[in-house]
């Protein structure tokens, strides 16, 4: 039997990988003329529908009113992350938006340290530094000739980092006794309700769905809601939140690879170096786990 920490770490890693697919579908949706509000709401709507089906089929568990409200509040952090990130993309370059989002790595480690009232381990600090360097390289920071800053875009990008770090932190701590699928459905319900309140679900009646929005909303719902929420809900409670945050950095390498394969964007040598460095930063804490807890046969 494999090491339990590595086993649950794999699910968190896969959750991060799922988020890496989103930017490709969002760019495709924008190219077709769909607007920010319709794209993000369709993502969470189709994700909610799929989770509802999964819950009805496999997880008909009752939850208390307190559990439902708490999980729905946690879910708001996921919708806020998407909102802030997509808003930042409207005014700044995608490479800069990704770099800002990836500040969640050190924000998450900081949150864990404050809550636990302990300093982060040497391995986590080194890993975060490595991830930051890798993010700058893979995000195209050094290869861009026209890198520009816009205060609103930078603000929204940093907000997305904070809310994503909060989502990972709470995923590992809040109502962890609730079955994974039910827990994921409740969180997504909170996210969708929040979006419907502040943005108004006009995509349901304005003809966007019949114009093809569902072609992007469904995969966005799968990779941006169903898979990551389930993976984080299942794996994050079994490992510490700092390690979960570091594993979530798997998003960027996948985003770079998807941009190359699907969008046919050029990926420079420095970006590939950055991808490799990020993978090293993710793997570093795992080696420490193996030293403390050898593989079980």
Q: What is the mean pLDDT of the chain?
A: 82
- 101: number of Cβ within 10 Å: 28
- What pLDDT is attached to residue 287? 64
Tens digit of each residue's pLDDT (9 = 90 or more) over 224-264: 889 988 888 888 888 776 677 777 777 777 877 887 787 77
The structure tokens 């079980």 sit at 296
Residues of the chain with pLDDT > 70: what percent?
Answer: 89
- What pLDDT is attached to residue 90? 75
Q: Are 82 and 23 in contact (CB under 8 A)?
A: no
Question: Interhelix angle for 94-101 vs 65-89, to 10°?
Answer: 150
Tens digit of each residue's pLDDT (9 = 90 or more) over 75-123: 999 999 989 988 887 777 766 777 788 888 888 888 888 888 888 777 7
Tens digit of each residue's pLDDT (9 = 90 or more) over 180-212: 889 889 999 999 999 999 988 889 888 899 899
- Higher-confidence residue of 99 and 168: namely 168
Give every CB contact of residue 195 below 8 A, 6+ residues apart in sequence. Answer: 40, 41, 44, 79, 83, 201
pLDDT of residue 5 exceeding 80, the answer is: no
pLDDT of residue 1 exceeding 50, the answer is: no
pLDDT of residue 66 exceeding 90, the answer is: yes
Distance CA 235, CA 229 (A): 10
Q: Are 44 and 209 in contact (CB under 8 A)?
A: no
- What pLDDT is attached to residue 222? 94
pLDDT of residue 15 exceeding 50, the answer is: yes
Question: Interhelix angle for 22-31 vs 214-221, to 10°?
Answer: 170
Task: Report CA torsion sign: 181, 186, 190, 192.
Answer: positive
Locate 16 and state its tokens. 């991060």
Dihedral class, residue 49 (left if φ above 0, else alpha if ψ from -120 to 50, else beta): alpha
C-alpha distances in angstroms, 181 versus 80, 109, 129, 176, 213? 21, 27, 34, 11, 26
Tens digit of each residue's pLDDT (9 = 90 or more) over 270-297: 878 888 887 777 777 666 655 555 544 4
Give every CB contact of residue 92 below 8 A, 6+ residues apart in sequence. Answer: 148, 149, 150, 153, 154, 157
- What pLDDT is attached to residue 76? 95
Mean pLDDT of 111-136: 82
Tens digit of each residue's pLDDT (9 = 90 or more) over 42-65: 999 999 999 999 988 887 778 899
Mean pLDDT of 119-145: 75
Distance CA 179, CA 288 (A): 30
Locate 98 and state its tokens. 């990704």
Mean pLDDT of 163-186: 87
Q: Are 239 and 271 in contact (CB under 8 A)?
A: no
pLDDT of residue 144 exceeding 60, the answer is: no
pLDDT of residue 146 exceeding 70, the answer is: no
Residue extents of the structural domains in the chain: 4-292
Among residues 203, 93, 109, 125, the alpha carbon closest in space to that of 162 is found at: 109
Among residues 198, 199, 211, 258, the alpha carbon closest in space to that of 25 is found at: 258
- What pLDDT is attached to residue 69? 94
- What pLDDT is attached to residue 294? 52
């Amino acid at each position: 039997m494999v090491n339990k920490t590595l086993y649950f770490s794999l699910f968190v890693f896969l959750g991060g990988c799922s988020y890496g697919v989103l930017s490709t579908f969002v760019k495709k949706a924008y190219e077709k003329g769909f607007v920010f509000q319709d794209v993000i709401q369709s993502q969470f709507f189709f994700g909610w529908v799929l989770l509802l089906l999964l819950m009805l089929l496999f997880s008909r568990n009752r939850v208390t009113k307190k559990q439902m409200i708490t999980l729905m509040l946690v879910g708001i952090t996921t919708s806020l992350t998407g909102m802030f990130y997509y808003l930042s993309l409207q005014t700044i370059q995608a490479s800069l938006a990704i770099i800002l989002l990836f500040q969640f790595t050190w924000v998450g480690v900081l949150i864990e340290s404050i809550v636990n009232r302990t300093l982060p381990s040497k391995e986590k600090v080194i890993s975060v530094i490595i991830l930051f360097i890798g993010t700058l390289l893979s995000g195209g920071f050094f290869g861009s000739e026209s890198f520009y800053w816009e205060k609103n875009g930078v603000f929204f990008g940093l907000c997305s980092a904070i809310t994503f770090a909060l989502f990972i932190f709470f995923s590992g701590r809040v109502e962890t006794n609730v079955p994974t699928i039910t827990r994921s459905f409740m969180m997504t319900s909170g996210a969708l309700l929040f979006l419907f309140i502040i943005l108004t679900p006009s995509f349901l009646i304005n003809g966007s769905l019949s114009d093809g929005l569902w072609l992007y909303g469904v995969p966005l719902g799968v990779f941006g809601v169903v898979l990551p929420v389930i993976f984080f809900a299942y794996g994050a409670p079994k490992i510490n939140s700092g390690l979960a945050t570091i594993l979530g950095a798997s998003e960027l390498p996948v985003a770079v690879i998807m941009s190359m394969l699907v969008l046919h964007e050029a990926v420079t040598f420095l970006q590939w170096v950055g991808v490799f460095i990020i993978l090293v930063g993710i793997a570093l804490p795992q080696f420490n786990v193996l030293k403390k807890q050898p593989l079980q046969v």
